[in-house]
């Protein structure tokens, strides 16, 4: 956090009188004049703070940054950012961002969404954003509950969730946001949590740096309606054994004493002990961000048996998958340029005349 605030990139900015001035932002420059109205203790505050803190590091003028959201608690986010912003309609932010990014590819476009917004009502747009690989950053605040409508179960809520609309427990099988993203050929798939701001900060930066749709799922605690949904991963006591932080090129190691690792037996992951001498670091699965199959295996560390079962896996955090693939917005603009080069800039009078005319 401290480090982020002190790392300020200098930006050359053209002033109204034609001069250039060198400016540098701080996190505060990205804070709008609106009172933040999330519930006290909401995980959204941490995320807002981390996003504001990385903004000065991006090296871009803030007028070139746009935040677009749909509907839900998370969707209030743009109001609190002193950038350009749009609080749009439920689920449609990816489509709005696509239209903006095609026509203004130079802008840094961020979509802020929730689990209901992106995976229920906006599922279709989320799918197509990812497969097209539009160059935007997609922050998915997952709290496994509908907050703004006061507590119905969401599409990421575990089966059996008791909520206002499921008093006897939900019947639905939940969606796995990371498996979904990988399944539709997303090019950047990562996970962070509100309770680990340092790691979140790093993941936000990684998301920004990736060219293409950067899908960052953020576990976010809804303190009022679904408090503790992610306690297993956020609680200091359980976190070491229940989470695993992924680093490209590093073996999968976790546990309070870094005493556990994950080995691949064919395509079957197995937790092994590094303490009893039977396995060493060299025997472990080494994380490769560019391996889609293995990224998918990691995303399945999810609908797992309870802790204690031998097949129980820790939940991965970090970048599961990151590859380069041409971005849709670039492709569209390249095609326009190519046609202009080939045919020349269109002449309106020729177009109005059409292929055949006659004179009366």
Site for other proteins, rule CB under 8 A: 13-17, 32, 34, 61-66, 68, 78-79, 81-89, 92, 94-104, 106-107, 124-125, 127-128, 332, 335-336, 339-340, 342-346, 348-349, 351-354, 356-360
Residue 348: CB minimum distance to other proteins, A = 5
Residue 311 tokens read as 């097949």
Cα(81)–Cα(36) distance, rounded to whole angstroms? 10
Cα(298)–Cα(246) distance, rounded to whole angstroms? 10
Residue 10: CB minimum distance to other proteins, A = 16
Residue 131: CB minimum distance to other proteins, A = 9
Residue 83: CB minimum distance to other proteins, A = 5
Nearer to other proteins, 83 or 144 (CB): 83
* SS3 track for 105-174: CCCEEEEEEEHHHHHHHCHHHHHHHHHHCCCCEEEEEECCEECCCCCEECCCCCCCCCECCECCCCCCCC
Nearer to other proteins, 273 or 335 (CB): 335
Nearer to other proteins, 78 or 269 (CB): 78
Q: Are strands 188-193 and 152-153 parallel, antiparallel or unpaired?
A: unpaired
Nearer to other proteins, 77 or 219 (CB): 77
Residue 176: CB minimum distance to other proteins, A = 21
Nearest of 170, 155, 68, 86 to residue 116 by alpha carbon: 155
Q: What is the CA radius of gyration of the chain?
A: 23
Nearer to other proteins, 74 or 100 (CB): 100
Cα(252)–Cα(237) distance, rounded to whole angstroms? 20
Q: What are the backbone angles phi and psi of residue 4, rounded to the nearest 5°?
A: -60, -40
Residue 279: CB minimum distance to other proteins, A = 47
Nearer to other proteins, 95 or 157 (CB): 95
Contact (CB, 8 A) for 238 and 248: no
């Amino acid at each position: 956090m401290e480090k982020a605030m002190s790392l300020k990139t200098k930006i050359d900015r053209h002033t109204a009188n034609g001069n250039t001035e060198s400016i540098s932002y701080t996190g505060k420059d990205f804070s709008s004049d609106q009172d933040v109205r999330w519930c006290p203790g909401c995980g959204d505050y941490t995320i807002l703070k981390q996003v504001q803190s990385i903004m000065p590091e991006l090296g871009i003028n803030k007028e070139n940054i746009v935040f677009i959201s749909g509907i839900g608690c998370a969707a209030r986010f743009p109001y609190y950012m002193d950038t350009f912003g749009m609080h749009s309609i439920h689920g449609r932010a990816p489509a709005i961002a696509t239209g903006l990014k095609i026509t203004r590819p130079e802008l840094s476009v961020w979509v802020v969404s929730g689990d209901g917004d992106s995976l229920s009502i906006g599922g279709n747009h989320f799918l197509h954003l990812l497969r097209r690989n539009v160059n935007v950053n997609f922050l998915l605040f997952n709290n496994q509950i509908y907050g703004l409508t006061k507590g119905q179960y969401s599409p990421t809520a575990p089966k059996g969730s008791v909520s206002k609309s499921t008093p006897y427990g939900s019947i639905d099988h939940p969606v796995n946001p990371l498996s979904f993203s990988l399944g539709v050929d997303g090019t950047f798939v990562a996970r962070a949590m509100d309770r680990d701001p340092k790691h979140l900060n790093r993941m936000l930066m990684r998301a920004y740096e990736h060219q293409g749709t950067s899908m960052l799922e953020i576990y976010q605690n809804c303190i009022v309606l679904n408090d503790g949904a992610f306690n297993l991963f956020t609680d200091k006591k359980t976190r070491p054994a229940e989470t695993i932080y992924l680093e490209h090129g590093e073996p999968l190691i976790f546990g309070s004493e870094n005493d556990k690792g994950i080995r691949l037996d064919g395509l079957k992951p197995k937790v092994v002990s590094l303490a009893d001498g039977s396995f060493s670091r060299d025997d472990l699965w080494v994380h490769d961000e560019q391996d889609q199959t293995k990224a998918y295996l990691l995303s399945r560390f999810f609908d797992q048996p309870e802790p204690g079962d031998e097949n129980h896996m820790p939940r991965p955090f970090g970048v599961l998958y990151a590859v380069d693939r041409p971005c849709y917005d670039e492709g569209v603009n390249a095609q326009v340029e190519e046609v202009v080069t080939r045919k020349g800039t269109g002449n309106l009078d020729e177009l109005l005349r059409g292929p055949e005319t006659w004179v009366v």
